[in-house]
Amino acid sequence: MAEKRRITIIGGGVAGYPAAIRAVRLGAEVTLIEREALGGTCLNRGCIPTKALLQSAETLSRIRGSEIFGVRVSGFELDFQAVMDRKTAVVERLTKGVRSLLAAKKIRVVSGTAEFLDSRTIRIRETGERVTSDHILIATGSVPACPPIDGLESSGVWNSNDVLAMESVPSRAVIIGGGFIGIEYAQILKVFGTEVTVLELMPQIIPGVDREIATTLQRHLVRSGIGVVTDARVVRVSAGDARKNVLYTSEGRTEELETERVILAAGRKPDFSHLGIDRVGLDVSKGAIAVNDRLETSVPGIYAAGDVLGGIMLAHVATAEGNLAVKNMMGANLPMQYGTVPGCIYTRPEIAVVGLTEEKAREESDIEIGRFYFRANGKAVIMNEIDGMVKIIGDRKGGHVLGVHIIGPHATDLISEAVLGMRLGMTVKDLAEAIHPHPSLSETIMEAAQAIGD
């Protein structure tokens, strides 16, 4: 029998560990190297712990509003320590599951910092061990970005990791960055009792999301008592004895906010600084590892996946990239396709999108738009979650769906129908004529498609 192909994967996050499992299923012998915790940012410091906090905030909001359903509740309170303990327990349960999966597949897991010796050899910095393989996958993820703001590093500013480790709820918080990370934290803290202001550099929150959807969310945030300032350039952060001050400019005015906590949520950047990639001559572009459409780097046999690519920094994209990379290592020749990647934001109401925004679609096609509002959906009325809408963008000439944008209850679950349909070449007519269950939230998608034909 031919010797098994050996694959080394650097990084045990959502790009790395699913790729390791896929590689074993394809017949490879796999070594996985992780310098911190299995599960990476998503499981330990990102997707999972933040959603655990959002679930606690959601539960608290529902109790506060339960009287509309005829349920009067008294004597409840927020047990913040219990909230944080549950968050930790959820993370520990899932990381234990990852370890069990890797062990069941007989994947060798090495704890330590990987660095290149050559294009086939990795050295573990702490032990000096050398790992030689036929192919290497770089999946080392990202770290919080730190923009050049005066006083940012010396003023005790929290990053997203610090929020997840907070021991008490701050009375006031200024969040620098109105992307999905900043907005999710804003809602969590607001429900827990913090006075929150979000400062976003761009003209809209959640940059890159369809403008109409982002505007709808911003109105909801403001109604809930969260301050939102767009076109806000933070000039300086300074720290006093017990308070911090944030100086910013917006629309030609200079303003200053006093706060207990400043939270930096200005995005993330690829992290591969410890690898020593200069030893093997890997190409880097705009601070990210450069790959071709098969996810192979400039050095044959070395591939990369996930946040180190600097592209769409989403967990499910990282997993798809990692899986595709190992398939190509094992002999496939498949390009990575990004046309139907869903984006999900776990705010209240939730946002989920796939395909082109209205702004982008208008640049490329003659389009038509269908909208349907949750306030007219029976299930949403029953749930008392009537904010938001489904917006479908269709190509007027060919009839195909170019984009689906949802803001409303369970949007992150509803979007999968659109993702699958668009991947299979669905037309607006197909979606409009598909029978949807009643009463259900999914009817909003059908209704939005039907509105295009009206």
**What residues are annotated to the active site?**
438
Euclidean distance between CA atoms 262 and 157, whole angstroms: 5
Find the helix or strand (DSSP H, E) in which 25 lies.
helix 16-25
The owner of tokens 């209205």 is 358
Return left, alpha or beta for 307; rule: phi > 0 is left, psi -120 to 50 is alpha, else beta. Answer: alpha
CA distance 39 to 48: 10
DSSP for 181-241 reads: HHHHHHHHHHHHT-EEEEE-SSSSSSTTS-HHHHHHHHHHHHHTT-EEESSEEEEEEEE-S
Q: Copy the structure tokens of residue 15.
A: 């790009």
> Using CA atoms, how far apart are residues 11 and 300, in angstroms rounded to an integer?
19
CB 209 within 8 A of CB 351: yes
Residue 86 CA to chain centroid, in angstroms?
Answer: 21
Spatial separation of the C-alpha atoms in residues 7 and 1, rounded to whole Å: 18
Q: Strands of 232-239's sheet, edge to edge? A: 232-239, 244-250, 253-259
SS (H, E, C) 149-186: CECCCCCCCECHHHHHCCCCCCCEEEEECCCHHHHHHH
Give me 308's structure tokens.
């180190």
Amino acid at 104: A
374 Cβ contact partners less than 8 Å away, ≥ 6 residues apart: 349, 380, 385, 386, 387, 388, 389, 390, 408, 409, 441, 444
- Here the tokens at position 17 are 């560990």
d(CA 435, CA 422): 17
Q: 287: left (phi > 0), else alpha (psi -120 to 50), else beta?
A: left
Q: Where are the beta strands (DSSP E) in 374-446?
A: 389-395, 401-408
Q: Are the beta carbons of 382 and 410 closer than 8 angstroms?
A: no
**Radius of gyration of the chain from its Cα atoms, rounded to whole angstroms:** 24
